[in-house]
């Protein structure tokens, strides 16, 4: 399995062909040439780290409400393996989840869509978290649309094919802290259990010098490291994009392990994934260029699929 680093600052059609070849075998690659200003990314990263360093009571001021999607998620309240019915123990991480800075106007299809565009909550102890996070969120929205345009070209579609299908994407930014572990984990407990992403596209910033992200190579039934690359973002597709492409592209199983496997003490790690999805009421059905010998899946609505997976993962 090869997880390449692709420079996207060149002819979009050529980049699309390269991405198409990559995603036919593995749903992951890394990108450079993305144009995201380092000061915006670093501002969000560093201020989020300051949030995680706050006392627990200060962080719990913005703990997500019961059934809510945004705010602070304490340690081990989520098990990503459960999204695939893996029934794993709680993941060894804490996180902040953030939705749109300015949600699109209603009306919404139902209460579930309304919840996806619920207001964010911000800590009074760190007011600077809001502006830097919102700035980074907007950069990720722009990069997501750019990548989907390249994806469309790689699939033999018009560059703007996905634009009107993702204009109200229930996107979410998550900043994750994997604290140092002073004791061995429970049996089967990981920093993030094995899972596939649920939606269309994920953009991940990793911490340099802190490995741990692995993808599953089905051909050899082994796990492959994705080492952090300075200035690069890890890109992967989710289940809905695989379904949209009729499995021409692969939604790959992945996990985050303790980078010091076998030791009782592990180094702290941080990451920032951004999840970009199709519009809530978008029908996901086989793309016209991916029919091949016939569609493998019945059409589904993007939003309910996303919501169902999320409910399984969160305790």
Tens-digit pLDDT profile for residues 170-224: 999 999 998 876 666 656 666 777 778 889 999 999 998 777 888 888 889 988 8
Of 312, 305, 303, which is closest to residue 111 (Cα–Cα)? 303
- Are 276 and 140 in contact by the 8 Å Cβ rule? The answer is yes
Residue 62 has a pLDDT of 97
Cα dihedral: 181, 186, 187, 191 (round 10): -50
Alpha-carbon distances, residue 190 vs 79, 126, 254, 257, 308 (angstroms):
9, 29, 12, 5, 22
pLDDT winner (highest mean) among 7-21, 255-269, 299-313:
7-21
Residue 182 has a pLDDT of 65
pLDDT, mean of residues 29-45: 98
Of 259, 305, 297, 261, which is closest to residue 279 (Cα–Cα)? 305
pLDDT, mean of residues 140-155: 98
- Are 233 and 164 in contact by the 8 Å Cβ rule? The answer is no
pLDDT, mean of residues 241-259: 87
Residue 91 has a pLDDT of 73
Task: Tell me the helices (H) and strands (E) count for the chain, helix number first.
Answer: 7, 14
- Are 250 and 242 in contact by the 8 Å Cβ rule? The answer is yes
Of 54, 42, 135, 44, which is closest to residue 94 (Cα–Cα)? 54
Beta-strand runs (E) in 21-138: 28-32, 71-73, 94-98
Beta-strand runs (E) in 83-161: 94-98
CA distance 16 to 292: 20
- Are 97 and 274 in contact by the 8 Å Cβ rule? The answer is no
- Are 204 and 45 in contact by the 8 Å Cβ rule? The answer is no
Q: Which residue has the higher pLDDT, 92 or 131?
A: 131
Q: How confident is the model at residue 25 (pLDDT cuts 50, 70, 90)?
A: confident
Cross-strand bridge partners of residue 225: 214
Question: CB 98: neighbour CB atoms within 10 A?
Answer: 26
pLDDT, mean of residues 149-161: 98
Query: For strand 28-32 and strand 233-237, is the pairing parallel, antiparallel, or unpaired?
Result: antiparallel
Q: Which residue has the higher pLDDT, 222 or 134?
A: 134
CA distance 217 to 127: 43
Share of the chain above pLDDT 90, in %: 65
Q: How confident is the model at residue 75 (pLDDT cuts 50, 70, 90)?
A: confident
pLDDT, mean of residues 81-100: 72
Structure-token pair, residue 54: 């706050």
Q: How confident is the model at residue 88 (pLDDT cuts 50, 70, 90)?
A: low
């Amino acid at each position: 399995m090869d997880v390449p680093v692709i420079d996207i600052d060149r002819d979009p059609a050529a980049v699309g062909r390269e991405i198409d070849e990559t995603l036919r075998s593995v749903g992951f690659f890394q990108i450079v040439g993305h144009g995201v200003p380092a000061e915006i990314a670093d501002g969000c990263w560093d201020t989020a780290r300051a949030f995680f360093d706050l006392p627990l009571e200060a962080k719990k001021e913005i703990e997500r409400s019961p059934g809510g999607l945004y705010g602070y998620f304490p340690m081990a309240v989520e098990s990503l393996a459960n999204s695939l019915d893996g029934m794993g123990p709680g993941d060894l991480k804490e996180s902040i989840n953030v939705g749109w800075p300015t949600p699109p106007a209603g009306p919404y299809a139902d209460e579930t869509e309304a919840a996806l565009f619920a207001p964010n909550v911000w800590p009074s102890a760190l007011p600077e978290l809001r502006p830097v996070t919102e700035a980074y969120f907007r950069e990720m929205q722009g990069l997501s649309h750019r990548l989907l345009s390249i994806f469309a070209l790689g699939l033999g579609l018009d560059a703007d094919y996905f634009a009107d299908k993702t204009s109200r994407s229930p996107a979410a930014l998550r900043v994750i802290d994997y604290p140092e572990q002073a004791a061995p984990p429970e049996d089967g407990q990981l920093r993030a259990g094995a899972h596939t992403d649920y939606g269309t596209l994920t953009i991940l910033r990793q911490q340099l010098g802190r490995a741990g992200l692995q993808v599953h190579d089905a051909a050899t039934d082994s796990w492959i490291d994705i080492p952090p690359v300075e200035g690069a973002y890890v890109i992967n597709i989710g289940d809905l994009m695989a379904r949209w492409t009729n499995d021409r592209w692969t939604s790959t199983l992945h996990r985050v392990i303790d980078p010091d496997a076998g030791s009782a003490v592990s180094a702290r790690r941080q990451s920032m994934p951004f999840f970009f999805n199709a519009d809530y009421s978008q029908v996901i059905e086989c793309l016209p260029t991916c029919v091949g010998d016939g569609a493998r899946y019945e059409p589904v609505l993007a939003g309910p699929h996303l919501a169902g997976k999320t409910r399984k993962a969160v305790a």
